[in-house]
Structure 1
Amino acid sequence: MIVGYILGIFSVIIWGITFVCTKTLLIDFSALEILLFRFLIAYIGLWLMRPKWEKIALKDNIYFALAGLTGVVLYQLTENIALNFTNASNVSIIVSICPLFTAIIAQIFLKEKHITPWFILGFIISIAGIALVTLNGKLAFELNPKGDLLALTAGICWGFYSLFVSIINSRKYDGMCATRRIFFFAVIFMIPLVFLGMHIKNAGAVSDLAKSLYIDLNFDFNKIRFAKLFNTLSLLFLGLIASGFCFYSWNKACRILGTVKISGGIYLIPVVTIIFAAIFLHEKITVMGIIGACLTIAGLFISSKKSTSQQQEQQ
């Protein structure tokens, strides 16, 4: 039980830091390039961490493929592209409702009962806290339908990813091998996007969406980009730790504690991000941000509280 919480908290902290790394990398790389390098490094790193082949039932590959598509490719890509069309506050608030989608999808497809009055109350309190954390003293909240819909799509994708991870965990596969297979399918799904990105680069498109999706494979140009130590270290961090190990540790936490219960930890990612952004990007933390962090944590505890009927079922 304690191990599950440790793994979940570790993943949340690392994922919170990734926003700081990604924001800096976007100066030299497109969102699609960051994802491509990140996934490739993660897949290779998982082989180095666990050089073991595990036989997978043929019919289960569909769940690994769907997990790679929804939780790795679509979630990461839509979240990053959304930042080009709307502000980070909107994206953080909308994406942070992933646990609600996880609970709803689990209740529909896995027949698990998670939507309780306590869950709804805790969710509302956490969202209010996240709003304060992400706004962080900025009272102007502008809606951008294109960006907000992309962020909403990211949240839904994570909900389905959690569903497929629950099914995979029920098969009792080796955690590291299972995570590696998810990334294998993610890399496969990236191949069409790579060709699209190369076409966009050759076409010289300059729209905001094109700037997020181009791929530049020019050797000399990449040599310059990777010669910057921060770029190389950040991509290794994103690939080996944030993607490879953290997806494994998160899936392991889901297996120990339950997908819906551990998914509530996603609420804490904006809190972690704002702390590290203040340290490394010198972004200001306000009283509003501190109050929001406290509300977010309080909402987490409330949403995990079981109803009377659930307590009676367990007795």
Structure 2
Amino acid sequence: MKYHLVALFTIFVWGFTFVSTKVLLVDLSPLWILLLRFVLGLCLLCVMRPHVLRLKERTDEVLFAAAGATGIAAYYLLENVALVFTTATAVGVIVAASPLFTALISAALGDRSSINIRFFCGFALAMTGLIVVGAGTIGEGDIVNFAGFDLFGDMLALTAALVWAIYSTLVARIAQKGYETIVATKRTFVWGVAFILVTTLVFDPHAPRPSVLLDGQNLLNLLFLGAVASAACFVTWGVAVKHLGATTTTTYIYLVPAITATASILILGEPLNAPIILGLAMTIAGLLLSQKRSANKKDVSCKTDRPVLG
């Protein structure tokens, strides 16, 4: 029972990260939120596991660099910028569709074990749900609206989901090489922070004022994102997977959009209407349907398997 609570705690934290980032965007730019969050997360991972990773092959560094560029730098930058233009609810629901894109990429690379009629039905249902959620967020974007959709923000979130799918494929290749999970993640964080730092210095070189960083609300949200969501929850997720198995633990992933929507409504005052409720239900049902086949197979998922993080 306690490991189910551990998994549930982790998912609740990740569901709230979209809201936390949205709050920080009032005072901080997407790039600086990203840089501060992952520098803090990397520091804590170094404390938790100071061991230095030794490459088994020199070419493995390319995999870690690519994982850092996609899963840390590109994904979170796209997500943060998407939150400027559209609601946290929309972003949370859209990026939750990433496992569908992961399956498609895996199929393109030769692994078609999860591609069948049920997958395509689930994919169609989930994509329709995303459109319905977009319709339910009419007028909530800050800049771009088209036919009532916060189109630009929604497209950025959809691109982020695709980028995370690429990252997941890279992580699977890294896991096959037998690297320890936390140490491998730390190496990925190093590359991610490096890419984020360079991007920040080029496009947003002016650091936030100390008074902004030391503001109570901003400080708590940064600590939440960096220390809890990016570092501690990776460990708790690993513990849950170890004791419950990847298949059982992954079931909790489908709660993330619902948690994000609930938190967005209660904390940010985002709208709750019939299209949002219907679209959310359709998306979760589509994800469950598309993944149902794998639940009947032997649990062989790697321990690095993770949901989309906020």
TM norm structure 1: 0.76
Whole-Å separation in 1 of the counterparts to 2:185 and 2:85: 31
Whole-Å separation in 2 of the counterparts to 1:248 and 1:224: 32
2:70 aligned partner, one-letter code:
T
User: Could you say which residue in structure 2 is the equivalent of 1:181?
Assistant: 187
Unaligned stretches of 5+ in structure 1? 198-213
Which deviations, in whole Å up to 9, do the C-alpha atoms of 1:232-280 show, x marking residues without a partner?
A: 1110110112222344556788899999998886654332111112222
Aligned positions, number: 290
Partners of 1:102 and 1:260 within 8 A in 2:
no
Matches of residues 249-288 of structure 1 in structure 2 within 5 Å? 268-288=255-275
Partners of 1:122 and 1:300 within 8 A in 2:
yes
User: Could you say which residue in structure 1 is the equivalent of 2:158?
Assistant: 152
Unaligned stretches of 5+ in structure 2? 140-145, 299-310
Q: 1:67 to 1:262 in 2, by over 3 A?
A: farther
TM norm structure 2: 0.77
User: Could you say which residue in structure 2 is the equivalent of 1:216?
Assistant: 206
Partners of 2:126 and 2:286 within 8 A in 1:
yes
Q: 1:179 to 1:282 in 2, by over 3 A?
A: same
2:21 aligned partner, one-letter code:
T
User: Could you say which residue in structure 2 is the equivalent of 1:80?
Assistant: 80
Which deviations, in whole Å up to 9, do the C-alpha atoms of 1:270-314 show, x marking residues without a partner?
A: 32111112222233433444444443443333222229x989xxx
User: Could you say which residue in structure 1 is the equivalent of 2:285?
Assistant: 298
Q: 1:298 to 1:111 in 2, by over 3 A?
A: closer
User: Could you say which residue in structure 1 is the equivalent of 2:308?
Assistant: none
Per mean C-alpha deviation after superposition, the further-off stretch among 44-53 and 239-248 is 239-248
Partners of 1:11 and 1:250 within 8 A in 2:
yes
Q: Percent identity?
A: 36
User: Could you say which residue in structure 2 is the equivalent of 1:121?
Assistant: 121
Measured after TM superposition, the shift of residue 104 of structure 1 is 1.1
User: Could you say which residue in structure 1 is the equivalent of 2:306?
Assistant: none
Question: Over aligned residue pairs, what C-alpha RMSD do you find?
Answer: 3.6
Partners of 1:194 and 1:215 within 8 A in 2:
yes
Whole-Å separation in 1 of the counterparts to 2:84 and 2:46: 34
Matches of residues 87-106 of structure 1 in structure 2 within 5 Å? 91-92=91-92, 94-106=94-106
Q: Give the structure with higher Rg (CA).
A: 1
1:180 is paired with a residue whose SS is: helix
2:269 aligned partner, one-letter code:
H
Per mean C-alpha deviation after superposition, the further-off stretch among 81-90 and 270-279 is 81-90
Measured after TM superposition, the shift of residue 131 of structure 1 is 4.5
Query: More helix by proportion, 1 or 2?
Result: 1
Whole-Å separation in 1 of the counterparts to 2:150 and 2:269: 26
